[in-house]
Amino acid sequence: MGEVYLARDTQLGRLVAIKRLRRDITANRIRHRRLIREAQLAAQVDHPAAIRIYDIVDLSPDHCGHHGGDRNGHGGPAIVMEYVEGDNLHERILRGPLSMASEVLPIAWQIAGVMAAVHDLKIIHRDLKPANVLITPQGNAKVTDFGIATVVDDNAPVVSQPLGRFGTLSAMSPEQLRQEPLDTRTDLFSFGILLYQMIARTSPFASCDTSELCESIAYQTPEDVRTYAPDAPPLLSALIAQLMQKSPSLRPRNGFREVQSVLQTVAEQIDSSQRPLRYHRAPRTMSPDATAVDDMTLSETMPVRDLSMSKRELTDVTNSTRVAPMALSSVIAAIPANGNIAQFGGQSSARDRV
């Protein structure tokens, strides 16, 4: 649904990511509201393993002046959020086996922790998968993309949309596939798939045929993860099997906090001297070229991540014209394809400061 750009906040001296709608759906007002809703839900989650939301800005001509957006009028809302250097979990899995002690268990524990916080807010993610988990250079997990997240309302159960409209088929729970009322337990099933993929490096429900994949998720019991990873701890294998139970009532009763507890126990079984699983502190450094500017030129830019967080090129995004002052919380610098820094000016107000 969106494109994500790397940018630099020149006043605060940090890199940020800016997510906006794809050019072909910029005019869709429903998509506008959904993007804003994504930011609002993600901003509620205060946890080390959650992407931090800094601001929502409007890139439309009405807010940015005559030259708002790109030469084709590509404007609309955009989310300014934390930039995470490194791969996503899907890319890390493709590179090779993950260490059980130093990668699988710590990363899974961190994801479970942020999902417990998300569920405390009565939010369900509905698209938890390796591509939506970023891994920092320190080995910390960051859960992102709340694009189809929603709030659980006891008086109005959440019902999944028709197949293929929202979400990722291979990460769906059986109840999500069947468009049944959803609660937080749907994310437990998706997490079971994710954990299985981290260990086995394949999906428990792999199929190129959509109907066969749906059949497998809804009715078939996947192979034990130890079929692919014989050294996987039995307790971890049992946890994965419980997470992927077809009936939500058979999944961990105490949700992701129970999952965290089991993961800690597994870590201690592997190494009796194992310290409690935790988040690794990142070094605090100032980004280069952190000098604030009033306004400059937005040149042709290159998004560093799409929604699946893989690198790709984007051409002809903008022209070399001055961008009118925008209601940004601070001045943002876009990084163009040629590697040089080019800024577009922002004008902050008390209401917009973060």
Tell me which DSSP letter residue 4 carries.
E
Assess whether pLDDT exceeds 70 at residue 312.
no
Q: What is the pTM of this model?
A: 0.75
Average pLDDT, integer, range 69-92: 79
* Band of pLDDT at residue 117, cut at 50, 70 and 90: very high
- Phi, psi for residue 200 in degrees, rounded to 5: -85, -20
The tens digit of pLDDT for each residue in 219-259 reads 999 999 999 999 999 999 999 999 999 999 999 999 999 99
Predicted local distance difference test score (pLDDT) of residue 241: 97
Can 120 be counted among the known catalytic residues?
Answer: no
Assess whether pLDDT exceeds 70 at residue 336.
no
Q: What is the 3-state secondary structure (H, E, C) of 134-186?
A: EECCCCCEEECCCCCCEECECCECEECCCCCCCCCHHHCCHHHHCCCEECCHH
Percent of the chain, pLDDT > 70?
66
Assess whether pLDDT exceeds 70 at residue 286.
no
Predicted local distance difference test score (pLDDT) of residue 328: 36
Q: Which residue has the tokens 């890319």?
A: 91
Q: Which of 58, 87, 127, 187 is catalytic?
A: 127
Q: Where in the chain is the domain with CATH 3.30.200.20?
A: 2-84+284-344
Assess whether pLDDT exceeds 80 at residue 263.
yes
User: Among the CATH numbers 3.30.200.20, 3.40.50.300, 1.10.10.10, 3.40.50.970, which is that of 2-84+284-344?
Assistant: 3.30.200.20
Q: Where in the chain is the domain with CATH 1.10.510.10?
A: 89-270
Residues 6+ apart with CB under 8 A from 91: 309, 310
Which own/partner pairs from 245-248 qualify as long-range (CB within 8 Å, at least 24 positions apart)?
Answer: 245/189, 246/174, 246/218, 246/219, 248/173, 248/175, 248/183, 248/185, 248/186, 248/188, 248/189
Give the residue among 101, 142, 135, 129 at the shortest CA–CA distance from 264.
Answer: 101
Mean pLDDT, the chain, as a whole number?
75
Percent of the chain, pLDDT > 90?
47
Assess whether pLDDT exceeds 60 at residue 279.
yes
Q: Which of 7-16, 18-27, 332-341 has the lowest mean pLDDT?
A: 332-341
Asked if residue 67 lies in contact with residue 323, where contact means CB atoms within 8 angstroms, the answer is: yes
CATH number of 89-270: 1.10.510.10
DSSP states of 221-274: PPPPGGGT-TTS-HHHHHHHHHHT-SSGGGS-TTHHHHHHHHHHHHHHHH-TTP
Q: Which residue has the tokens 């201690």?
A: 268
Asked if residue 162 lies in contact with residue 169, where contact means CB atoms within 8 angstroms, the answer is: no
What SS3 state is found at 11? coil
Assess whether pLDDT exceeds 60 at residue 64.
no
